[in-house]
């Protein structure tokens, strides 16, 4: 008697398809391999469940995963490898993953599944940064270009998950800002002739492990080279030759530069080009803002995981330069404080080498030859280049903090008495990666720090660091004595005030002969900073004590210092030097000088001295 198959077929409600038993070899290859039941859908429910499990595990591990399940049937591929896949049914049930139900989106997902470059927006910790910048800064022209080139140019398709799709819709943009800068010539930067005219689309031959948030490798290299050529402090923070060599390594290599530092460099390098219509409402480059946000996110992630610690500090420093250039003052104040605070537990504020751990020197436990505990997180190193990179990272963080302290009336993040780090080597020794013989590096506590400059341990950058130390003393004097003494009329007669005046004058007179003129051999912008900061220290020290009549000694000294700063501007204007290559700290100097002149200008107008008023007005215009 034949078996009644009607009872074996499950009943189905209205609107559902009946589940019909499959013939042999009618199930998908994956279900047959796993010996599971299959409903012959595309993708089948078994593959959807397996895909959901794979996604959950890969997301926890922080690894990419395919956006759609792998579900293939007999006949999908010919012997020659040609694909014959029918349209897939949009019923993926894996949590957080849904295949788009329109043909165009389905085509994009199929393409990503074959190439293996799909990336889920909803699991990316930096997705909100990218989407937010895309919604506010990418112009319609770039959105059109993005769709023309196709989503494969960026490696970031439309949202894979339903939650990600809703987020994109709410932001008013479904494109990735990375692709808008990667699929064609990068806005804000001129096309380098080295890259050629027919560049390969991004991610068509992308190295394994390369971050999809970064521009294409060719554009990234161009940005790094621009950074070293245009940012005056780039070579004083990073070792240029080794950094460019590391950039040629595979992205998965341990010595490859950190993504946080690369994002910071991209943001800063975007300042030195023609902005190509990708500016936000405040005139800030959307490309730079995006990479600054990605830098912060990835740097904090690295710090929380305890990896790439030195490069995290370097990334914060470069990002602070970008913030200063874009007048993001509140963010800059937070970033500079964060940077110097990071340096302390890393041991960058101390001079620590491998031998110091056991000798009881600075960085070790004093008096213990067999040290059992070290108060720094980073391991010591004997590599001379690594030691110098740590040293320079700290002094850059120190100078950022001191410049912010001079521009405000607020205390600074670390006291000079708590700093034991040595001054850097000269730039030539740093570039060569060698330690000069018989070199004695100075510290903040060294006697004669501001007046003794050994030729084998002195260059423009070291003089600049010393000038910032001098300005730090003036800032601390103003902050601390102002809070302790309510009446300031007698402060100019105090011994501490006289000492600072003497130190400023002695430092200016102690410059070695070869460093006395920043315009002797072209323009040395770092040496110009070293000459300008003592003048700023004079103004900051004397200005609180100027009388309303402006006929007192402090007022005269402020005006003399301002005129010397103005003279440097005249000389700089007479050269062909590009002002955009100057650090934005100069704008602070010129603002302080303009304030002194404007106060004098108002007093001259009250006295109806038109000739002198016209002269001062012209000087103010030069600063402006």
Q: At what angle do helices 309-325 and 286-305 cross, to 10 degrees?
A: 150
Among 393, 413, 434, where does a domain finish?
Answer: 434
Residue 26 to residue 105: CA distance in whole angstroms: 28
Q: Could you tell me if 319 and 231 are in contact, meaning their C-beta atoms sit under 8 angstroms apart?
A: no
Residues 129, 113 share a domain: no
Residue 53 to residue 47: CA distance in whole angstroms: 10
229 within domain boundaries: yes
205 within domain boundaries: no
Residue 209 to residue 186: CA distance in whole angstroms: 22
pLDDT, residue 8, reads 43
DSSP state of 374: -
Helix (H) or strand (E) holding 501: helix 495-509
203 within domain boundaries: no
Residue 349 to residue 376: CA distance in whole angstroms: 10
Q: Could you tell me if 16 and 10 are in contact, meaning their C-beta atoms sit under 8 angstroms apart?
A: no
Residues 141, 42 share a domain: no
pLDDT, residue 150, reads 36
Residues 359, 340 share a domain: yes
Residue 333 to residue 180: CA distance in whole angstroms: 31
Residues 494, 533 share a domain: yes
Reduced to 3 states (helix: H, G, I; strand: E, B; else coil), residue 83 is: strand
Domain count within the chain? 5
Residue 121 to residue 130: CA distance in whole angstroms: 10
Residues 24, 109 share a domain: yes
pLDDT, residue 101, reads 38
Residue 294 to residue 328: CA distance in whole angstroms: 16
Among 326, 341, 371, where does a domain finish?
Answer: 326
Residues 592, 460 share a domain: yes
* Local mean pLDDT, 10-residue blocks, the chain (624 residues): 45 50 73 82 82 74 71 68 45 36 43 42 48 43 38 33 34 33 39 41 65 92 95 96 95 94 96 59 71 94 92 97 92 93 92 51 44 68 92 96 88 91 95 87 92 93 97 91 66 87 96 94 94 95 85 90 93 90 89 90 86 88 86
Alpha-carbon distances of 191 from 85, 120, 196, 199, 344, rounded to whole Å: 40, 31, 9, 11, 41
Name the phi and psi angles at 279, rounded to 5. Answer: -105, 145
Helix (H) or strand (E) holding 149: helix 140-149
pLDDT, residue 550, reads 79
409 within domain boundaries: yes
Residues 602, 577 share a domain: yes
pLDDT, residue 143, reads 39
Q: Could you tell me if 455 and 428 are in contact, meaning their C-beta atoms sit under 8 angstroms apart?
A: no
> In which domain, by residue range, is 569 found?
447-624
| Number of helices (H), then strands (E), in the chain | 23, 0
**b/e map 62-71, b = 16+ CB within 10 Å:** eebbbbbbeb
Residues 418, 368 share a domain: yes
- Those residues with Cβ within 8 angstroms of residue 356's Cβ, 6 or more apart along the chain or in another chain: 362, 363, 364, 380
pLDDT, residue 139, reads 38
Residue 387 to residue 378: CA distance in whole angstroms: 12
Residues 378, 289 share a domain: no
Among 413, 434, 455, where does a domain finish?
Answer: 434
Residues 100, 230 share a domain: no
Residues 240, 177 share a domain: no
Residues 605, 488 share a domain: yes
504 within domain boundaries: yes
pLDDT, residue 284, reads 54
pLDDT tens-digit map of 459-481: 999 999 999 999 999 999 988 87
196 within domain boundaries: no
43 within domain boundaries: yes
319 within domain boundaries: yes
Q: Could you tell me if 397 and 339 are in contact, meaning their C-beta atoms sit under 8 angstroms apart?
A: yes
pLDDT tens-digit map of 166-222: 333 333 333 333 333 333 444 334 444 443 444 444 444 677 889 999 999 999 999
pLDDT, residue 470, reads 96
């Amino acid at each position: 008697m034949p078996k009644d198959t009607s009872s074996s077929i499950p009943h189905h409600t209205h609107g559902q398809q009946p589940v019909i038993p499959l013939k042999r070899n009618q199930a998908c290859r994956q279900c047959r391999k796993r010996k599971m039941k299959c409903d012959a859908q595309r993708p089948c429910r078994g593959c959807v469940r397996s895909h959901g499990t794979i996604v959950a595990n890969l997301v926890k591990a922080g690894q990419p995963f395919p956006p759609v399940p792998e579900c293939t049937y007999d006949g999908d591929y010919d012997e020659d490898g040609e694909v014959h896949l029918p349209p897939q049914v949009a019923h993926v049930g894996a949590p957080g993953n849904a295949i788009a139900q329109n043909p165009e989106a389905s085509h994009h997902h199929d393409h990503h599944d074959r190439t293996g470059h799909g990336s889920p927006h909803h699991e990316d910790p930096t997705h909100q940064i990218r989407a937010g910048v895309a919604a506010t800064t990418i112009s319609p022209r770039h959105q059109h270009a993005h769709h023309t080139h196709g989503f494969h140019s960026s490696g970031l398709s439309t949202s894979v998950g339903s939650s990600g799709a809703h987020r994109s819709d709410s932001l008013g943009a479904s494109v990735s800002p990375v692709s808008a800068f990667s699929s064609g010539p990068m806005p804000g930067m001129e096309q380098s002739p080295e890259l050629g005219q027919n560049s390969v689309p991004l991610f068509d031959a992308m190295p394994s492990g390369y971050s999809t948030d970064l521009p294409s490798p060719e554009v990234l290299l161009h940005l790094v080279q621009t950074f070293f050529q245009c940012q005056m402090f780039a070579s004083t923070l990073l070792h240029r030759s080794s950094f460019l060599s590391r950039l040629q390594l595979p992205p998965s290599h341990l010595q490859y530069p950190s993504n946080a530092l690369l994002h910071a460099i991209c943001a800063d390098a975007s300042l030195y080009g023609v902005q190509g219509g990708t500016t936000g409402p405040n005139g800030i480059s959307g490309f730079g803002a995006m990479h600054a946000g990605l830098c912060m996110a990835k740097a904090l992630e690295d710090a929380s995981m305890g990896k790439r610690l030195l490069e995290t500090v370097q990334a914060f420093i470069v990002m602070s330069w970008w913030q200063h250039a874009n007048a993001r003052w509140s963010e800059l104040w937070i970033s500079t404080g964060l940077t110097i605070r990071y340096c302390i537990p890393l041991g960058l504020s101390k001079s620590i080498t491998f031998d110091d751990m056991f000798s009881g020197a600075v960085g070790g436990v004093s008096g213990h030859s067999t040290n059992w505990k070290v108060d720094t997180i980073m391991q010591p190193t004997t590599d001379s280049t690594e030691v110098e990179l740590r040293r320079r990272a700290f002094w850059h963080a120190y100078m950022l903090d001191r410049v912010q302290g001079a521009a405000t009336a607020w205390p600074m993040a670390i006291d000079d008495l708590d700093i034991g780090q040595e001054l850097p080597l000269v730039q030539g020794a740093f570039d060569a990666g060698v330690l000069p013989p018989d070199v004695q590096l100075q510290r903040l506590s060294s006697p004669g720090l501001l007046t003794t400059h050994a030729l084998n341990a002195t260059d423009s950058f070291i003089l600049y660091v010393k000038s910032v130390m001098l300005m730090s003393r003036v800032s601390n004097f103003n902050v601390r004595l102002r809070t302790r003494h309510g009446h300031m009329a007698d402060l100019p007669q105090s011994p501490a005030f006289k000492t600072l005046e003497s130190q400023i004058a002695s430092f200016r007179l102690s410059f070695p002969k070869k460093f006395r003129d920043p315009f002797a051999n072209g323009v040395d912008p770092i040496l110009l900073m070293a000459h300008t900061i003592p003048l700023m220290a004079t103004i900051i020290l004397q200005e609180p004590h100027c009388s309303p009549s402006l006929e007192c000694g402090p007022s005269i000294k402020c005006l003399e210092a301002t005129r010397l700063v103005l003279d440097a501007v005249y000389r700089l204007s007479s050269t062909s030097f590009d002002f955009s290559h100057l650090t934005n700290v100069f704008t602070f100097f010129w603002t302080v000088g303009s304030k002194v002149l404007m106060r004098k200008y108002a007093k001259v107008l009250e006295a109806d001295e038109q000739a002198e008023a016209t002269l001062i007005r012209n000087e103010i215009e030069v600063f402006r």
